[in-house]
Structure 1
Amino acid sequence: MLAADITGRKFTAMRAFVLRRVLAAIPLLLGASLLIFLVFAFTPGDFIDGNINLTAQRAAELKALYGLDQPWWLRYLHWLEKLLHGDLGFSMQYQIPVTELLGQYVFNSFLLASVSMVLYWGIALLTGVLAAVQPYSLFDRLLTLAVFAAMSFPVFFLCLLLIKWAAVDLGWLPVGGMLATGSDTRGWAYVHEVAIHMVLPVITLVMLQAGGLTRYFRASMFEALAMDFVRTARAKGLKERTVIFKHALRNALLPMIALAGFELPALFSGAIITEKLFNWPGVGHVHIDTLAARDYPVLMAFTLFLAALTILGNLMADIVYACVDPRIRLR
């Protein structure tokens, strides 16, 4: 009876904690939407101004048609009202709704981002733990050198270098795209073709992201290994593998939970140049094209999408942290 009562109180406290975090996320999202709108509303020029083929009269008619001649606060309220109904606006460059435009490409970006994130988190976890277990060893020093070497490459240079080596010189992999030109493959052949085209952009994202994350894992694991509970576990005669993976690693992962909440939006935004250079049909590729054309409805929708991912990731990180760390007070 007592155990059931304790469990019920924990569940109630967790539910209240989640509710508070969700309610706190709503004004954050509204504030982000206002800031995003103001940035683009007060940016000089737009898609209509950039079209030199339009006469002054026709440009004025289009501005009135799209509501660009109204005060900024009224335009924001109209935009916010449409957002609440799931309408992200209309792309003036592609002449289709923004929701439909992003819907065509967001899965491709998510596929690239998720595969890359799984790989570089796994690599960073393994190498970071090994470096912390053997601090200042030859492996640790070589890893540090490799990390800083990978992080020092500009993304566009790394992309072009991989294209030249693996695609042009050796001919092992396709230059870019998601499928071969005119491809109509189905089933496992389609999966294989997409996987082959993903190799180079995934390698690029892993090289750019794994280095910094490896240093985080190493520092967190190194700090955990120096704590008293680790020395106590070793004094009890536990195997070193048990001490490292069951005791030290579990505590070292706690600070990484907060970092994980920001990884997905950061990977989406960080893949913009990679998608463009490899001609990967994702939202990052579309973002570059619409940025050049100053198609602000698409730019605002994509930026708001990144803001929503950041808030959602932070919310999920808070909830997971509260679940795995009993030291968190939920009241």
Structure 2
Amino acid sequence: MRQFILRRVLLMFPTLLGASAVIFFIFALTPGDFVDGSISLSPERALELKALYGLDHPAWQRYLHWLWQLAHGDLGFSLQYQIPVTELLDRYVWNSFLLASVVLVLYWGLSLLIGVTAAVRPHSWYDRLVTLLVFAAMSFPVFFLCLLLIKWFAVDLAWLPVGGMIATGSESRGWAHVLEVAAHMVLPVLTLVMLQAGSLTRYFRASMLEALALDCVRTARAKGLKERTVVFKHALRNGLLPVITLLGFELPGLFSGAIVTEKLFNWPGAGHIHIDTLAARDYPVLMGFTLFLAVLTILGNLLADIAYALADPRIRIR
């Protein structure tokens, strides 16, 4: 097991290097930059700023410079916010991580529970109702679902705040602050859970249906074991194997998928500033955030490999 994990960790470094090259040159070859987007600058001032920020150098030189900065933990300098990218992301990414972690726990738990119970009773009224609700939730565009929830729960019923993370001018502390943040999280969390849980529920249901048809499950039933033991001890472990592979894409998918949600709910996260920097062509911030998603993807795949090896010993033996 130790050698298996070591091999996977060593593979992370060339993968991350390749991802950094792809990310940099995609943005470097994109026409225009932050200086070109500032229409109020004179040609002389534009050339001066490009020389100051190193934008007049060849792309390969800028990539090597950026790579050297990355090796020292420096993601560059935000041209729009005039602060280091590391400081900017540190200011907002933890808010996104709070939102993503709550959503991840909720929709994985709900998808597991609903998918397993639907697979145990296939083609029943419960299974058909779950299928209907799952496809209904997946059919809503994210912006429409956000606006619909805001209208229902924030405008019409006035049960929840419209957006933001805390109320304007709030100075709450302690548990009052926690409850205030939790109230502001309800609508974006509900939106992301509804959008993400549908497809995962279908995966769990399909995987459990295959697991319940295995010979080992039929043998366990023939031995007279309780149905709960058969489902959760024998079938569920086999049913989780195909779904574990999805784990590597869940966390980066939440960060990238929450961009529109954070913007509509005015949640002060990394996805919120991503749209603003995209409009301003602030490529250092865009490259830093995209590299952050790449790191999350690589780490997620590593965790998925470890979880897969723990669930199926044949993987780590090979």
Q: Which TM-score band applies after superposition, normalised by the shorter structure? A: over 0.9
Matched to 1:213, the amino acid is L
For 1:155, which of 133, 142, 146 is the aligned residue?
142
The match for 1:222 is 209
The match for 2:90 is 103
Question: How far off is 1:330 after superposition?
Answer: 3.4
Q: In structure 2, how many angstroms separate the alpha carbons of the residues matched to 1:139 and 1:324?
A: 29
Confirm or deny: 8 A CA contact 2:4 2:316 kept in the other structure. no
Larger mean CA deviation between 128-137 and 203-212 belongs to 128-137
For 2:128, which of 134, 141, 146 is the aligned residue?
141
The match for 2:198 is 211
Matched to 2:198, the amino acid is G
Verify: 1:262 aligned to 2:249, yes or no. yes
Q: In structure 2, how many angstroms separate the alpha carbons of the residues matched to 1:18 and 1:151?
A: 36
1:212-253 deviation digits (Å, cap 9, x = unpaired): 000000011000000000100000011111111111112111
Matched to 2:218, the amino acid is R
Query: Equivalent residue of 1:18, what SS?
Result: helix
Verify: 1:326 aligned to 2:313, yes or no. yes
Question: How far off is 1:138 after superposition?
Answer: 1.1
Verify: 1:72 aligned to 2:49, yes or no. no
The match for 1:232 is 219
Q: Which runs of 5+ in 1 are unaligned?
A: 1-13
Q: In structure 2, how many angstroms separate the alpha carbons of the residues matched to 1:19 and 1:175?
A: 47
Verify: 1:93 aligned to 2:93, yes or no. no
* Aligned ranges 1:165-176 → 2 under 5 Å: 165-176=152-163
Query: Equivalent residue of 1:87, what SS?
Result: coil
Verify: 1:184 aligned to 2:206, yes or no. no
The match for 2:232 is 245
Larger mean CA deviation between 149-158 and 138-147 belongs to 138-147
Larger mean CA deviation between 140-149 and 167-176 belongs to 140-149
Question: How far off is 1:328 after superposition?
Answer: 1.7
Q: In structure 2, how many angstroms separate the alpha carbons of the residues matched to 1:151 and 1:17?
A: 37
Q: In structure 1, how many angstroms separate the alpha carbons of the residues matched to 2:215 and 2:3?
A: 34
CA RMSD of aligned residues (A): 0.8
Q: In structure 2, how many angstroms separate the alpha carbons of the residues matched to 1:168 and 1:329?
A: 54
Matched to 1:243, the amino acid is V
Q: In structure 1, how many angstroms separate the alpha carbons of the residues matched to 2:314 and 2:10?
A: 23
Q: In structure 2, how many angstroms separate the alpha carbons of the residues matched to 1:244 and 1:49?
A: 61
Confirm or deny: 8 A CA contact 2:146 2:261 kept in the other structure. yes
1:234-281 deviation digits (Å, cap 9, x = unpaired): 000111111111111121112222111210000000000000000000
Q: In structure 2, how many angstroms separate the alpha carbons of the residues matched to 1:59 and 1:329?
A: 56
Q: In structure 1, how many angstroms separate the alpha carbons of the residues matched to 2:3 and 2:220?
A: 36
Matched to 1:159, the amino acid is C
Q: In structure 2, how many angstroms separate the alpha carbons of the residues matched to 1:246 and 1:22?
A: 31
Verify: 1:84 aligned to 2:84, yes or no. no
Q: In structure 1, how many angstroms separate the alpha carbons of the residues matched to 2:94 and 2:222?
A: 51
The match for 1:116 is 103
For 1:277, which of 261, 264, 268 is the aligned residue?
264
Confirm or deny: 8 A CA contact 2:85 2:288 kept in the other structure. yes
Verify: 1:292 aligned to 2:275, yes or no. no
Confirm or deny: 8 A CA contact 2:119 2:209 kept in the other structure. yes
How many pairs align?
A: 318
Question: How far off is 1:22 after superposition?
Answer: 1.1
The match for 1:196 is 183
The list of structure 1 runs, each at least 4 consecutive aligned residues, that deviate by more than 4 angstroms after superposition, is none
Query: Equivalent residue of 2:69, what SS?
Result: helix
Q: Which runs of 5+ in 2 are unaligned?
A: none
Matched to 2:292, the amino acid is F
Question: How far off is 1:324 after superposition?
Answer: 2.5
